[in-house]
Amino acid sequence: MKNVVIGLLVFCGFQIGLTGVGAENVDGIAAVVNKKVITRSRIHAMEQEFLKQGRFDSTEDENARKEKILTFLIENELIVQKAEEYGVAVTSEELKAALDDVKKRNNLFTDDELKAAINQQGTTWSEYLDDVRKQIKIAKLMNSEVRSKVLISEDEVSKYFEEHRGDFQAAPAKVHIRQIFLSVKPGASDDDVSAILDNAARIVKELRGGADFAEMAKAHSEHPSAANGGELGTFQEGQLAAPFDAAFNMAAGEISDPIRFDDGFHIIYVETKTGGEENALQNARTDIRRKLFEQKADALYKEWMAELKKTAYIEIR
């Protein structure tokens, strides 16, 4: 049976490792956290599991690896102890959800398959469930004490975007447009032109009041596209000449004022718009917010952990 990666449980929005390390033989105490001990065998077992999972570079100095694991275990123990102090409980539903998540991530379909995989890695089912419960407690406390306190403002998102604009490549702007065209005959008098403009303005007012553009185009446009509701198609920036290039300065759903050009007045409707610099921030917003959230959560976690360590008895041997 393959080695099962039983880590990387995502629970309550916080990512936690759930590495089974087998029964602990107290062959040496690496650290004492208040009244709990962390054994060297536990550090060794976790180091081997992390190496199998690719969470460590095998070329990294062994002492550096062990130091990272010891720090991880000390902090985990402090959080578990704080969770127990606060009375954080794990429901049967939460435990089941956690186990289902592990099975899904490892392509396992039944509890029996998961139990077999856990046992093969030297951990009893009872030990594993205890470990899972601890990790759920960690996740729940981390959510309440750290992640729930992180706030990201729109100004912060915009500022990050401006400072890292080069990291966000804007796709070429594309617009799907329709038009209504009202012709001005050669030699038309100023009064005639004024009357046509007034008619165009009336049409724009109706459109902005909710009239269907396609139907209005069929009824009023003098362009061949009228039969198709004024549809001209989708164009990339640089493909349209005046007056239609104005569409790239408009928002999706926007209707232009009447535009006089050569032989008449054009009313342009931007049906959809994608890409372009103005859409780059919108497209990047989720990634930026996630990045800023993790940065703030990490900083807040370090502050919170420093306070926990101040009031704890920690002896490293």
Residue 175 pLDDT > 70: yes
Higher pLDDT, 126 or 17: 126
pLDDT for res 219: 96
* Residue ranges of domains in the chain, CATH in brackets: 9-145 (1.10.4030.10), 174-274 (3.10.50.40)
pLDDT for res 11: 35
The answer to whether 25 and 32 are in contact (CB under 8 A) is no
Residue 106 pLDDT > 70: yes
Alpha carbons 25 and 62: distance in angstroms, whole number: 21
pLDDT for res 228: 95
Residue 4 pLDDT > 50: no
CA 148-131-23 angle, 5° bins: 155
pLDDT for res 31: 94
Residue 3 pLDDT > 60: no
pLDDT for res 16: 34
pLDDT for res 22: 47
Model pLDDT for residues 58-97, shown as the tens digit of each residue: 788 888 889 999 999 999 999 999 999 999 999 999 999 9
The DSSP string of 45-102 is HHHHHHHHHT-S-TTS-HHHHHHHHHHHHHHHHHHHHHHHHTT----HHHHHHHHHHH
Residue 19 pLDDT > 90: no
Model pLDDT for residues 257-292, shown as the tens digit of each residue: 999 988 899 999 999 988 766 566 777 888 899 999
The C-alpha torsion from 117 through 118 and 121 to 122, rounded to 10°, is -140
**Residue from 58, 51, 291 nearest 167 by CA:** 291
Give the C-alpha distances (Å, rounded to integers) separating 249 from 158, 273, 279, 304: 20, 10, 12, 48
Query: For 249-262, what is the mean pLDDT?
Result: 92
Give me 17's structure tokens: 């490792």
What mean pLDDT value characterizes the chain? 86
The reported pTM is 0.61
Of the chain, the percentage scoring pLDDT greater than 70 comes to 89
Give me 288's structure tokens: 């930026």
- Using CB atoms within 10 Å of the CB of residue 175, give its burial: 0 to 12 exposed, 13 to 18 middle, 19+ buried: buried
pLDDT for res 88: 95
Q: Is the dihedral of CA 250, 253, 256, 261 positive or negative?
A: positive
pLDDT for res 134: 92
Residue 174 pLDDT > 60: yes
Q: Which range is least confidently modeled, 184-188, 200-204, 278-282?
A: 278-282
Output DSSP code: residue 239: S
pLDDT for res 100: 92
